[in-house]
Amino acid sequence: MPQIVDPNIERYAAEHTTAEPPELRSVADETRQKFESRAGMLTGKLEGAFLRTLVAITGARRVVEIGTFTGYSAMAMASALPPDGTLVTLEVSAEHAEVARRHIEASPWSNRIEIRMGPALDSLATLDGPFDLVFIDADKTNYRNYYEACLPKLAERGVIAIDNVLWGGAVLDPSDTSADTRAIAELNDALAVDERVECVMLTIRDGVSLIRRR
């Protein structure tokens, strides 16, 4: 997936962002070694700091994440929760969850994080709202379903953050007919005119849309 932001700008932004806690650096290092090209799924230092700030400034207490991978973003968000805050992160891959579980258990935030295994749509159906923050970052063809499942359970001042909305720039190419690209592009089009919400698309990393109820 090509970078949408000039790599020098991206590096400068990361360098001028507060250092990651050692627990996050450790999971990022293991992820890059173990998963190589798949490590591109990691949100990483810049977006992780953005998500942590989002939790802090919204005062979120109940967070749901769709797509755990190795736990980087879950730990980044949980680190800004109050001690009684909770984060449920949904994952289907036992291989990914094993790494996440190990790092989460070794972190100071383990009592705030629950990894729930299984297809995320099934897990979401069992979770009661209200959610203060939802981070959608799993299979792209289900993005619309995740959004529709979470919106009714969103707290009045809650926020849904959706990752990879620029998909390396592919969403700008109407001749790109891959299922992932079309799913993201169609959701982006729908969000811009969805009268239930206000949406702002940010060009952080691979694009993040923030959605709140009107």
Ligand X SMILES: C[S@@+](CC[C@H](N)C(=O)[O-])C[C@H]1O[C@@H](n2cnc3c(N)ncnc32)[C@H](O)[C@@H]1O
Q: Which residues bind ligand X (CB under 6 A)?
A: 41-43, 67-70, 72-73, 90-93, 96, 119-120, 137-139
Based on CB atoms, which residue is closest to ligand X, 102 or 213? 102
Structural contact between residues 159 and 54, judged by C-beta atoms closer than 8 angstroms? yes
Instruction: Show the beta-strand stretches assigned E in 77-207.
Output: 86-91, 113-117, 131-136, 154-163, 197-202
Rounded least distance, CB 128 to ligand X, Å:
19
Based on CB atoms, which residue is closest to ligand X, 67 or 158? 67
Please, what's the b/e burial string for 125-137 (b: 16 or more CB within 10 A of its CB; e: otherwise)?
eeeeeebbbbbbb
Based on CB atoms, which residue is closest to ligand X, 2 or 174? 2
Rounded least distance, CB 182 to ligand X, Å:
17
Rounded least distance, CB 90 to ligand X, Å:
5
**In the block, residue with structure tokens 């729908």:** 190
Based on CB atoms, which residue is closest to ligand X, 104 or 211? 104
Rounded least distance, CB 195 to ligand X, Å:
28
